[in-house]
Structure 1
Amino acid sequence: MSSVELPQLRPTLADVARAAGVSTATASRVLNGFPRVRPKTRKQVESAMSALGYARQRAARATAGRTGSVALVVCEEVLRLFADPFFARISAGAGKELTEAGLQLVLLTVPATENYQAPVLRYLDGGHVDGALVVGMHGRRPLDLDWLGIPVVFGGRPVGGGGCSSYVDVDNRGGAQRATQRLIDAGRRTVATIAGPQDMTAGVDRLLGYRQAVVGAGQADRGLVVFGDFGQASGEHATTRLLDRRPNVDAIFAASDMMAVGALRALHRAGRRVPGDVAVIGFDDLPIGRRTDPPLTTVRQPIEEMGARMTGELLAMLGGSAAPRCAVLDTKLILRATA
């Protein structure tokens, strides 16, 4: 009976960093010839590269040519991926551009746990795709992508500023401020918000926009801020907590349409009329907002355009553009019946 030798997995730069006892970023600096690396550290990294065969594999990849595929990396749990229409619309915008360019879209999901990141990072660094589009980035356990040998474009400004990254974002802060100001101008005196995750720039910026409006109107109250995860169930639970804490609330700005839908369910269960007792505004302009009872006033962000623009930036990088490029798309307040 003959034995079959299994192919060995190609070492990644993360493997080199672990073998050298340094961070992945330091190993990347050595690989790319950055001068500000201590000689001892450089020697450790180079020795690890040699021992693992990393440099030879890298050279083979460089001459292998294009794969014709681009990864869409979604940093969310699989259930959220299929429950939240945002990701489908990003994919639609990206897929259309890639199809016209003759490229294939590959979907990768990354749950918010370190254990599940390694296979995705290994795949991205394994010569399977020419570039990556990344959406849903969280700050607590961010993907370490700076060292990858492929271009990467983020959907949304990366946590920490993203000074060396290409990204396409929307005017989250301005959209949230306009929505909240609409509630204030309508005479609402106790305007609350269901804020999004604070480890994502969209959640941070939309909360900042809300706060800018309520502070300007002299209505700031920390008890009027509750938090969700952009999902419907979290919006429902947050509204229930809010009503217990501030029974006199007469307006809610929810940082996503899905949380706004949850808020409407909680308000209906509590016997609050919308918009008579409590006005509600969401953020996204998802199709579900047109089917709620009453239809949802919301902030429209151009999701498909965002996916298309991200893809355009990535294609430019694949074409030789080296400098990181950033774009911020406008939002628009869509008036319906909830506010």
Structure 2
Amino acid sequence: MNRAPGPTLADIARAAEVSTATVSHALNGTGRLADATRRRVREIATGLGYAAPSAPRTRSLGLAVTTFAGSAWNFVAVSYFSQWLTAATAAAHAHGYALTTLPADRGAGTPWHTLAVDGMLLLDSPRGDPVLSALRARGIPVVFDGRPADPRPGDVWVDNDHAATTREVLGHLAAAGARRIALHGGFGDEHYTYAVTRAYEEWCAEHGRAPLVIPFAPDDAPGHAFDRAFATRAADAVYCLYDPGARQALAAAARHGLTVPEGLLLVCASEDPAYERSAPPVTTVTLNPALTAETAVAALIAIVESGTGGPPSPPTVPAGLLVRASSVRR
């Protein structure tokens, strides 16, 4: 993992209009600096392509979920990420590596510029990801869960075939009698959201149906985003892209007098086992997080230990449609 010569501490100090001591403190997480100063110096260092001196091998990997603009949200509470983390930890330990999970918040106290790991696993990396920029500048190998929004030659990621999965879901709903299928998504700025939305719009165009994208909001427990579509019966089926989506749709359907599945067909991409026990049981799409995690960890360790690139083509993990009562009309 050789790095080209980059800017020095003095170059960063000139660009940030601070002393080299301030730059050193900001990059190393030491000294008494204002959070704003520390953050600004680190951002300038990343923008200039600063690479910290090579550190010795640690036999430790890092894991971060960097989507949703770096807000301090608890991704471990989401079934997909909790299963991913459990499987990744087991896989890393099986290879003799530790695994450090970083918080979602990207504040000045988060050690992206000083984290001592041999490689990083990035989940749902969005466009313009500052964490990715910092890792690239330091020359730390990265393997992605999900295609990065701005891939570079040699990038390695593990993903599902979201286009094929979306078409399978829409075909299933259409076969069950749906004529006005809405997509509940449009929230994240990662490849998953774009890929599913694009496949949905293409399918609608091919089948002569008007697309209807209902915006998802994580705090919309009553499902108010569905109100207009359900009140006017503009949708008779919904495919939810995010874990809480089906609960929001069920709440809104009950408020508008729609029964599931008779009045509304429902499918949700989720690993939450509670959907199997809901009333009615909800059809889900599993993205197989455990297999994805194991594949990503193996790829990252192979890169770390060989010092070369990853597999010639990104590994694809199959998704699965688990059909239950919410999408089958009797």
Alignment-mate amino acid for residue 97 of structure 2:
L
Shift of 1:189: 1.3
Give matches, 1:1-339, under 5 Å. 9=25, 11=27, 24=46, 27=49, 58=53, 61=55, 65-75=56-66, 77-111=71-105, 116=107, 119-124=110-115, 128-139=116-127, 141-143=129-131, 144=133, 145-221=135-211, 224-229=212-217, 231=218, 233=220, 236-244=223-231, 246-325=232-311, 326-339=314-327
Look up the match of 2:8.
none
Alpha-carbon distance, 1:254 to partner = 0.9
Q: Give the direction of change, closer, same or farther, for the CA distance of 1:318–1:99 in structure 2 (3 Å limit).
A: same
Secondary structure of 1:123's aligned partner: coil
Deviations 1:113-154 (A, max 9, x none): 6xx167332233xxx221111113222654213212321111
Structure 1 residues 130 and 78 mapped into 2: Cα distance closer, same or farther (>3 Å)? same
Q: Letter of the 1:178 partner, please give it.
A: E
> Size of the alignment, in residue pairs?
287
**Partner AA of 1:210 in structure 2:** Y
Classify the secondary structure of the residue corresponding to 1:261: helix
Deviations 1:283-323 (A, max 9, x none): 13431221221111122211111111110011101111522
Q: TM-score, normalised by structure 1?
A: 0.75
Counterpart amino acid of 2:157? Y
The residue identity in structure 1 corresponding to 2:49 is A
Letter in 2 for 1:275: P
Report the Cα distance in structure 1 between the residues aligned to 2:326 and 2:113, rounded to whole angstroms. Answer: 47
Query: Closer, same or farther in 2 for the Cα pair 1:185/1:301, shift >3 Å?
Result: same
Counterpart Cα distance in 1 of 2:108 and 2:123: 14
* Higher mean C-alpha deviation, range 150-159 or range 193-202: 193-202
Q: What code does the residue aligned with 1:27 have?
A: G
SS in 2 for 1:328: coil
- Code of the aligned partner of 1:104: A
**Using the alignment, how far apart are the partners of 2:272 and 2:227 within structure 1?**
23
TM-score by length of 2: 0.77
TM-superposed deviation, 1:22: 7.6
Amino acid at match of 1:102: G
| Change in 2 beyond 3 A, CA 1:178/1:321 | farther
For the structure 1 residues 148 and 141, does the alpha-carbon distance in structure 2 shift closer, same or farther, using more than 3 Å as the test? same
Q: 1:94 to 1:293 in 2, by over 3 A?
A: same
Q: Distance in 2 between the 1:316 and 1:9 partners?
A: 34
The DSSP-based 3-state class of the residue aligned with 1:70 is strand
| Cα distance in structure 2, aligned partners of 1:188 and 1:283 | 18
After TM superposition, which residue ranges in structure 1, 4 or more long, deviate above 6 angstroms?
Answer: none
Q: Is the 8 A contact 1:232 1:260 kept in 2?
A: no
Structure 2, unmatched stretches of 5+, are 1-23, 29-36
SS at the partner of 2:114? helix
Contact kept in structure 1, 2:186 and 2:216, CA below 8 Å: yes
Matched position secondary structure for 1:170: coil
**In the superposition, relative to structure 1, how do residues 117 and 305 fare at CA in structure 2: closer, same or farther (>3 Å)?**
farther
User: What secondary structure, in the 3-state scheme, does the structure 2 residue paired with 1:194 have?
Assistant: strand
Note closer, same or farther for the CA distance 1:147–1:323 as it changes in structure 2 (3 Å cut): same
Q: RMSD over aligned Cα, in angstroms?
A: 2.8
Indicate how the Cα distance of structure 1 residues 198 and 68 shifts in structure 2: closer, same or farther if over 3 A, else same. closer
Q: CA deviation at 1:94?
A: 0.5
Task: Assess if the C-alpha contact under 8 Å between 1:192 and 1:225 holds in 2.
Answer: yes
- In structure 2, the CA distance between the partners of 1:205 and 1:180, relative to structure 1 (3 Å rule), is same
